[in-house]
Structure 1
Amino acid sequence: MLSIKNSFLILTVVLVNGITHAQNNIKIAHHPEHPLKEKTNNQYSLNFDFIVENNSKDTLKLTRLEVRLFDKNNALVQQKFLDNNGTAPSINTIPNIHWNGVSQRLLFNPFPEVNSVTDKLEYIFTFNDSIEVKNVVIPKEYEQIQDFILPIKKKLLVYDGHDFYSHHRRFDYEFVPIKQMGFTGNFMRYAYDFAVLNPEGKQYINKGENNTDWFGFGTDVLAVADGEIVAIETNKKDDKTFDIPALVNNPLALYGNYVVIKHSENVYSMYGHLKNQSATALKVGDKIRKGHKIGAIGTSGSAFFPHLHFEIRNSINHEAEGLPSYFNNYSVFLGSTKKDIKKGTLATGDIIQSK
């Protein structure tokens, strides 16, 4: 007959072994391996994803996620968390927190803003209130070698950037239909959608049902820096459609008409949704100067209104990852006031114009 003490010891061993076994069946990786520190105003932003893999048949629920930020001396800078406490738990701001048996899911980093002295981040994932798995992230400083100008001269609305809520930020390359096409990263991780505004701050006249109702349709698009054209398409119609299966062989088909310029090793600028036939004067191999017209705003590809999709990326294949971009000499309009920027990045909702 077992004593109460021995029974307690056996139960403790079983629980510990069970938790250890569960931990061994959970794999957490982050991508990119070294997230880039993008300077935004007076702080930094980290734009990366976690890939959480459940290799057991057990259902997992993420009940807490904590992050600890450390400086170069390994001293604690900040500590933040999401948990299941209260009537409206903060952990529920993550849309999918269940892994039903063997499964793999992408989770967008929910703590994008970090202090500038941050050198290392330690994430602690807690599943089912008891299973802890840690993941250490070492970010990397990003230095843009080239000086970029804005790709459009007119007053612009940054219709969508790449903040935490942007669709550019939320490209789920673990989503099966996307993964089957060969994508392994987020090529538009730092992308922008630019819409032209008239003096009253409007984007279109009437109801905006026709391309020509939009003030931006047909507006010149300019190269942001010197470089060489490495990919181009100019024959697609301005009909807001594209051939989805074509993405398997051409990951750029998403953008309809496009121009891609190589500026240096692993630095490419992409200009998408261009107007039909607006880049016919150009071809692959052409050397382009900063400010050179390379096309016009259209509605080709996956565009649902006339705008320019702009991004910096490290390649033109399915493995491409996005890169931050900083622009020189522009103004930000804050109501009736104007703030001149010598060099900076942009945010969703900003109203801007080249100087």
Structure 2
Amino acid sequence: MKIINQKINQSFSFLALFFGVSSMIAQSNIKIVHKPEEPLKEKINNQNSLNFDFIIENNSKDTLQLTRLEVLLFDKNNVLIQQKFLDNNGTAPSINTIPNRQWNGAAKSLVFNPFPEVNTSVYKLEYTFTFNDNIEVKNTVIPTDYEQVKDFMLPLKSKLLVYDGHDLNSHHRRFDYEFTPIHQLGFTSNFMRYAYDLVVLNSENKKFSNKGEKNEEWFGFGNDVLAVTDGEIVALETNQKDDKQFNIPALKDNPLVLYGNYVVIKHSKNVYSMYGHLKNQSSAAFKIGDKIKAGQKIGSIGVSGSSFFPHLHFEIRNSITHEAEGIPSYFNNFDLILGSAKKTIKKGAINTGDIIQSK
């Protein structure tokens, strides 16, 4: 009996060793990095938001399936604050909120961080990715507090709808620079990570008259676009038609082609404001190198470039290259309109769906 038990124990030990070694080999074939390397803490109300991506690379011939993702959140003293996870449990598994979870052999793809809202005390986040139910790979993220150096005013004076911001579901947030056609154009990061699409509303909170089929039926078409603070124009285009068209191959040489007509203003080192989809010839009075003052008109709302309807695309970024990363932005002195009530904001963030007006 002792001999049989001994053989059974030896068999279990061998299997444990075998699967342990196999798991280690599998782990070594999986590379996970996050971008940007130091994600920025965006301040929204009484919480911080973390807007970053994971790039997951399978360097083996095996098929990998992400079956669980867990994050542990720690304070500066390495004390656990919170724990969150997505897994395969339940009739509608939460892991399904990550659409691309399978790597068929050697492949690389992007996963958007699915846990953006964090407590203000968070210092470090430890992520554990589980593949095929038994292969674990960890990634540690230490974000950086973001402080805006200059005060910004809103770039439009009218009543505005934040049609699309950069929350988890926004198209600005979900720019996949690892998607092959995008990557082949030279993009290596998300320049519009903290962007806004701003649409002018009338007194009845409508965006357009009639059916909005003509540019002129949109209340914002032709409205003045203002510089959010002092700076110098470093990039400019004003000759594109208001026809919702742009030259996709040209993005390889100039990533700003996406915006049709645009003005980019440099405010300080690695801080640029971008005003996109401007009206044809509305910035014709300016040239690169011009000094601009806060509140100065720099163009008008148009529908040039990659635009479905007249609106202003606004973003803060750290450069004008294919490697540009987005930066958060906070605005001074505006009203947040809440139906028949309103709340005055001295300085704060704006979000998708907000109705706001500069004071």
Q: Which of 296, 299, 302 is the aligned partner of 1:292? A: 296
Is residue 262 of structure 2 the alignment partner of residue 258 of structure 1?
A: yes
Q: Shift of the alpha carbon at 1:7?
A: 2.1
Q: Which residue of 1 aligns with 2:335?
A: 331
Q: Which residue of 1 aligns with 2:63?
A: 59
Q: Which secondary structure state, in structure 2, belongs to the residue aligned with residue 173 of structure 1?
A: coil
Q: Shift of the alpha carbon at 1:87?
A: 1.0
Q: Shift of the alpha carbon at 1:6?
A: 2.3
Q: Which residue of 2 aligns with 1:130?
A: 134
Q: Which residue of 2 aligns with 1:172?
A: 176
Q: Shift of the alpha carbon at 1:121?
A: 0.3
Amino acid at match of 1:26: I
Q: Which secondary structure state, in structure 2, belongs to the residue aligned with residue 332 of structure 1?
A: strand
Q: Which residue of 2 aligns with 1:189?
A: 193
**Matches of 2:250 and 2:347 in 1, distance apart?**
38
Q: Which residue of 2 aligns with 1:227?
A: 231
**Matches of 1:10 and 1:339 in 2, distance apart?**
67
Deviation per CA, 1:180-208, whole angstroms, max 9, x where unpaired? 01111000000000000000000001111
Q: Which residue of 2 aligns with 1:282?
A: 286
**Matches of 1:76 and 1:249 in 2, distance apart?**
47
Q: Which residue of 2 aligns with 1:352?
A: 356
**Matches of 2:284 and 2:338 in 1, distance apart?**
38
Q: Which of 319, 324, 339 is the aligned partner of 1:320? A: 324
**Matches of 1:265 and 1:354 in 2, distance apart?**
27
Is residue 130 of structure 2 the alignment partner of residue 150 of structure 1?
A: no
Q: Which of 50, 57, 63 is the aligned partner of 2:54? A: 50
Structure 1 segment 231-242 matched on structure 2, within 5 A:
231-242=235-246
Amino acid at match of 2:151: D
Q: Which residue of 1 aligns with 2:77?
A: 73
Amino acid at match of 2:179: F
Q: Which residue of 1 aligns with 2:14?
A: 10
Q: Which secondary structure state, in structure 1, belongs to the residue aligned with residue 161 of structure 2?
A: strand
**Matches of 2:15 and 2:71 in 1, distance apart?**
31
Q: Which secondary structure state, in structure 1, belongs to the residue aligned with residue 350 of structure 2?
A: coil
**Matches of 2:30 and 2:18 in 1, distance apart?**
19
Deviation per CA, 1:37-84, whole angstroms, max 9, x where unpaired? 000011000000000011111111111100000000000010000000
Amino acid at match of 1:63: T
Q: Which of 76, 96, 103 is the aligned partner of 1:99? A: 103
Amino acid at match of 2:357: Q
**Matches of 2:91 and 2:154 in 1, distance apart?**
46
Q: Shift of the alpha carbon at 1:142?
A: 0.5
**Matches of 1:273 and 1:12 in 2, distance apart?**
60
Amino acid at match of 1:307: H
Q: Which secondary structure state, in structure 2, belongs to the residue aligned with residue 18 of structure 1?
A: helix
**Matches of 2:52 and 2:307 in 1, distance apart?**
25
**Matches of 2:341 and 2:17 in 1, distance apart?**
67
User: What are the ranges of 5 or more consecutive residues in structure 2 without an aligned counterpart?
Assistant: none
Q: Which residue of 2 aligns with 1:213?
A: 217
**Matches of 1:11 and 1:147 in 2, distance apart?**
63
Q: Which residue of 1 aligns with 2:277?
A: 273
Amino acid at match of 1:339: K
Percent identical among aligned pairs is: 73
Q: TM-score, normalised by structure 2?
A: 0.98
Q: Which residue of 2 aligns with 1:244?
A: 248
Amino acid at match of 1:214: W
Q: Which residue of 1 aligns with 2:208?
A: 204
Q: Shift of the alpha carbon at 1:324?
A: 0.2
Amino acid at match of 1:271: Y
**Matches of 2:343 and 2:184 in 1, distance apart?**
45
Q: Shift of the alpha carbon at 1:27?
A: 0.6
Q: TM-score, normalised by structure 1?
A: 0.99
Amino acid at match of 1:291: G
Q: Which secondary structure state, in structure 2, belongs to the residue aligned with residue 126 of structure 1?
A: strand
Amino acid at match of 2:55: I
**Matches of 1:142 and 1:94 in 2, distance apart?**
27
Q: Which of 24, 31, 37 is the aligned partner of 2:35? A: 31
**Matches of 1:20 and 1:306 in 2, distance apart?**
54
Amino acid at match of 1:117: S
Aligned residue pairs total: 355
Q: Shift of the alpha carbon at 1:3?
A: 2.7
Q: Which secondary structure state, in structure 1, belongs to the residue aligned with residue 346 of structure 2?
A: strand
**Matches of 2:217 and 2:266 in 1, distance apart?**
33
